[in-house]
Amino acid sequence: MTIFFSLLILAICIILVHLLIKYKLHFLPESVAVVSLGIFMGAVIKIIESEHLANWKEEEMFRPNMFFLLLLPPIIFESGYSLHKGNFFQNIGSISLFAVIGTAISAFVVGGGVYFLGKAEVIYQLTVTDSFAFGSLISAVDPVATIAIFNALNVDPVLNMLVFGESILNDAVSIVLTNTAEGLARENTSNVSGWHTFLQALGYFLKMFFGSAALGTLTGLISALLLKHIDLRKTPSLEFGMMIIFAYLPYGLAEGIKLSGIMAILFSGIVMSHYAHHNLSPVTQILMQQTLRTVAFMCETCVFAYIGLAIFSFPHKFEISFVIWCIVLVLLARALNIFPLSYFLNFFRDHKITPKMMFVMWFSGLRGAIPYALSLHLEMKPIEKRQLIGTTTIVIVLFTILVLGGGTMPLTRLLDIEDPKTRRRNKKDITLSKTEKMGNTIESEHLSELTEEEYEAHYIKRHNLKGFLWFDAKYLNPFFTRRLTPEDLHHGRIQMKTLTNKWYEEVRQGPSGSEDDEQELL
């Protein structure tokens, strides 16, 4: 019944998103619509239960471990796999600073603020590790609506990539920081000095971060070499199956050896997209891209729906002072993260981060699926403490999605950072639907099939690559990816054409195999 209930909610959410796209309700982000639907369904279930017509409490419960085993891995892997790596690696220094140092600053500011306010008896008192765990989980930004607005308005591509790239790495960093706090909470640190505890936490974080990243990178490189030397291009089903296995393999291994599966799967997705993807046949390239997007959409939708359901369905502990102070700390922590680091980075960047861009980056710090999933996963005692953290997290997620997400487009236009051509377009052309944009897009870099001569002549020389990008293009890429011969290219085109023609013939003939009236079918 739990499986049935989850699938039923997902089906209704898909219909809702379809209606948003069909009737061009582009002003409403999908995440807001899905959360609203979850709230409505939670209210209906509450009424039914209060009338003693049915008890669905067990069916609507989703085990916290299921979020980490089933829902988060596809979301994180797809983020790394669909990444536009050209812009990402050109800004990798800035993105890493925002994602790692910036997230740590946010976690310490929120965690420290909650702890000291609790000590001063202004808000509910939490321990040091619990405060830091809450600060870590609430520092995971999820600018889904913001990125859709950026794409719709064609804002500065550097701003787009800084926000998007930070959010990708930030999720994994936030999860590792939360796991670090939980690990310290499980150990007895009461007799240990604060400095020793800090060094212990730093060592644990570095081991989790770099160990998991190395494991994910290694898995991605192994998958690339395997698919390069074992040619599965003529059997797309086997090829696709191998990619799916390697997509989930680093998660299981990392968790098994006490590392971060989420961090491993993120780096595995980036590396597999950069190397292994280009060893696939054109059919599997498209299939992999669209399948990952579909699964990630369903997982993300499921989490947002359960955020809405949780408002009426689960026990809460709501303290207005705790919620207000946490919102203030979250906004303050985001400001102390973005503005100082941006000014520091401008000393080293050719393309400067302007004050307007900084303000939009601060404003786009939305919270979403990751903080909610992490709040469910925390093992805090007594139970009222978990309920307080869960309730506060839901309120902050809804506040950032509705208030900050809803105000991003007016703010972007007010600050005049959108593309001039877009400003002249009709507002009806602007879509905030992430699903619609992703479903209609095939990433060009994911379908590039260059022969050895074309790669050398058109890619390395034309792009004037330097540093690691030049080394990667000159040595790593040829080592890990198959350079196609003209015959391989010709076979790939025939394979696509054959599949397309076969599908068209089957449609014309109809399901019975007999020739139907073509005009009637049309």
**Which pLDDT tens digits describe the chain residue by residue (522 residues)?**
777 888 888 899 899 888 888 887 766 677 778 888 888 888 887 777 766 655 555 555 556 677 778 888 888 898 888 876 666 777 788 888 988 899 999 999 999 999 999 888 888 888 888 898 899 999 888 765 566 666 655 667 777 778 877 877 888 888 888 888 877 776 655 555 567 777 777 888 888 888 999 999 999 999 999 998 888 888 888 999 999 999 999 999 998 988 888 889 989 999 998 888 888 888 888 889 889 988 988 888 888 888 788 777 777 788 899 999 999 999 999 999 999 999 998 888 877 888 888 888 888 788 877 888 788 777 777 778 888 888 899 889 888 888 887 777 777 777 766 555 545 444 444 545 556 555 544 444 444 444 444 455 555 555 566 667 777 777 788 888 877 666 666 676 676 677 666 655 665 555 554 445 445 444
Please list, in sequence order, all residues whose beta carbon lies within 8 angstroms of the beta carbon of residue 422, skipping any fewer than 6 positions away: 152, 153, 154, 430
Task: State the amino acid at position 197 in one-letter form.
Answer: T
Could you tell me the residue ranges of all domains in the chain?
Answer: 63-189+197-415
- Residues in the chain, overall count: 522
Question: What integer pLDDT is reported at residue 112 of this predicted model?
Answer: 92
CB atoms under 10 Å from CB of 381, counted, come to 8
Question: What integer pLDDT is reported at residue 123 of this predicted model?
Answer: 85
Phi, psi of 141 (to 5 degrees): -90, 150
Question: What integer pLDDT is reported at residue 465 of this predicted model?
Answer: 64
Which CATH code for domain 63-189+197-415?
1.20.1530.20
- The residue to which tokens 């997007």 are assigned: 293
Question: What integer pLDDT is reported at residue 481 of this predicted model?
Answer: 85
Question: What integer pLDDT is reported at residue 369 of this predicted model?
Answer: 74
| Contact (CB, 8 A) for 435 and 21 | yes
CB atoms under 10 Å from CB of 373, counted, come to 24
At CA 83, angle to CA 349 and CA 158, rounded to 5? Answer: 30
CA distance 357 to 149: 14
Phi, psi of 451 (to 5 degrees): -75, 175
Exposed / middle / buried, residue 502 (Cβ in 10 Å: 0-12, 13-18, 19+):
exposed
| Contact (CB, 8 A) for 107 and 74 | no
Question: What integer pLDDT is reported at residue 492 of this predicted model?
Answer: 67
| Contact (CB, 8 A) for 358 and 137 | no
